């Protein structure tokens, strides 16, 4: 090649590199000269030195009301697979990889959680280190997440809260309308129905529909937090323990309910499946108390992790309830561990992943084992089951109806682009 051509090629290469450098001014650097996160006003074109990709329209949060994230666990898993594939790609070996997002504050916050979580899980950064990278340069602040309610936001969940929650646990992908919150210990699911059917586009399942999965995954107990819609004996006859700990939809549990729930879970060897109407508000709140007591999660970490596992969980006053109960849960956990002299830290989570009874229903199995228990604080609700059309729409009904209207999305990890 002539000398002039070589000089011309070198000049062009330098100019292209300078253009890339200008584009990356203010970007967050996660791997030096290799992985970046940037907020850009327009879609950039990949060059000889830099590969750009965006997930804003690939991983989309399905909101209930004014909530917009964080993205759920299956999407985080798919994002990590996608980014790992790019980092290992032969054709991208010598290129800088830039995950870019738009100035849409909602999409930007979700994108930040994705790459921040990747940095925590795969790059072994602390949540604080990942967050510092995210707010470096021109990426100064992010819109905080909120609950899945219609009213004003009264509790802000930050990017850092989400990263701290993810740091404390390992994760598995969701399966159907039930999600593991603590692998091998807590399964949150939507309330069963007397018979399996489709209602307003939402699939309702009879208790029997869950039996094979529960047995396969060592779920031994079921806790119901909503009004009685199905007969608990259908679970107990199949060999599962069943407990009723009712409290009003959208409200917070009493001390009696909380203590009873913790006692049940601490006394159960197998996994516990917990449900209310939609398996979001009441369910997430009580499981959150367990996380704070046994794993010393902060309230914010608790809410963040449960929402990553099961979007829409913990709503309205339930957020503040967990905040107020944090110190008491920590103290109870510390006392219990000191008495048992068997410290139970976060490693347990990452490696697996008297009461008032108004209308008790007791059924004994072989050996006189107690199979069904009830705490029911609403006197107007008797042991009769609630009719299919006998109730007005509750918060749980509305959330399930919104889920039913959603169109199914592809589970692909996306092509390498």
Indicate which residues carry an active-site annotation. Answer: 276
Q: Are 192 and 229 in contact (CB under 8 A)?
A: yes
DSSP state of 93: T
**What DSSP element (H or E) covers 197?**
strand 197-199
Q: What one-character-per-residue DSSP string does 3-71 give?
A: HHHHHHHHHHHHHHHHHHHHHTTTPEEEETTTEEEEE-SSPPPP-SSEEEE--TTTS----SSS-----
The token pair at 261 is 């729930």
Residues 6+ apart with CB under 8 A from 356: 256, 375, 377
Q: In the sheet that 50-53 helps form, which strands lie side by side, from edge to edge?
A: 28-31, 35-39, 96-101, 50-53
* Integer Cα distance of 66 and 286 in angstroms: 23
* Integer Cα distance of 403 and 268 in angstroms: 31
* Integer Cα distance of 311 and 68 in angstroms: 10
The number of residues making up the chain comes to 417
Q: Are 285 and 314 in contact (CB under 8 A)?
A: yes
The half-sphere exposure of 411 on its side-chain side, counting CA atoms within 13 A, is 7
């Amino acid at each position: 090649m002539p000398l002039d051509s070589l000089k011309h090629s070198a000049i062009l290469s330098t100019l292209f590199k300078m253009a890339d450098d200008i584009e990356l001014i203010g970007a967050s650097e996660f791997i030096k000269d290799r992985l970046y996160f940037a907020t850009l006003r327009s879609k950039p074109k990949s060059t000889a030195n830099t590969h750009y990709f965006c997930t804003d329209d690939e991983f989309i949060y399905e909101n209930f009301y004014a909530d917009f994230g964080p993205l759920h666990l299956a999407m985080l898993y798919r994002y990590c697979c996608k980014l790992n594939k790019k980092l290992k790609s032969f054709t991208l070996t010598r290129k800088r990889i830039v995950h870019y997002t738009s100035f849409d504050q909602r999409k930007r916050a979700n994108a930040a959680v994705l790459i921040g979580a990747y940095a925590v899980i795969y790059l072994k950064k602390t949540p604080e280190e990942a967050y510092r990278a995210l707010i470096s340069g021109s990426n100064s602040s992010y819109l905080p997440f909120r609950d899945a309610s219609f009213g004003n936001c009264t509790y802000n969940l930050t990017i850092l809260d989400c990263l701290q929650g993810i740091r404390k646990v390992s994760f598995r992908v969701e399966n159907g309308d039930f999600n593991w919150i603590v692998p091998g210990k807590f399964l949150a699911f939507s309330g069963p129905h007397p018979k399996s059917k489709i209602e307003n586009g939402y699939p309702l399942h009879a208790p029997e529909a869950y039996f094979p999965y529960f047995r396969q995954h060592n779920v031994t107990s079921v806790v119901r937090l909503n009004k009685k819609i199905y007969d608990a004996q259908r679970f107990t006859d199949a060999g599962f323990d069943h407990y009723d700990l009712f409290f009003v939809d959208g409200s917070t549990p009493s001390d009696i309910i909380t203590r009873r729930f913790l006692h049940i879970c601490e006394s159960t060897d197998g996994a516990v499946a917990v449900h209310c109407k939609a398996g979001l508000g009441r369910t997430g709140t009580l499981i959150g108390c367990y996380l704070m007591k046994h794993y010393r999660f902060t309230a914010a970490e608790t809410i963040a992790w449960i929402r990553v596992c099961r979007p829409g969980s913990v709503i309205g006053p339930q957020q503040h309830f967990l905040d107020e109960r944090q110190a008491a849960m920590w103290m109870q956990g510390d006392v219990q561990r000191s008495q048992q002299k068997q410290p139970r830290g976060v490693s347990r989570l990452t490696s697996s992943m008297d009461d008032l009874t108004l209308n008790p229903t007791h059924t004994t199995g072989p050996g006189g084992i107690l199979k069904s228990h009830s705490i029911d604080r609403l006197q107007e609700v008797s042991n009769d089951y609630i009719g299919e059309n006998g109730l007005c729409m509750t918060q749980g009904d509305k959330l399930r109806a919104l889920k039913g209207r959603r169109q199914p999305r592809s589970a692909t990890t996306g092509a390498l682009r």
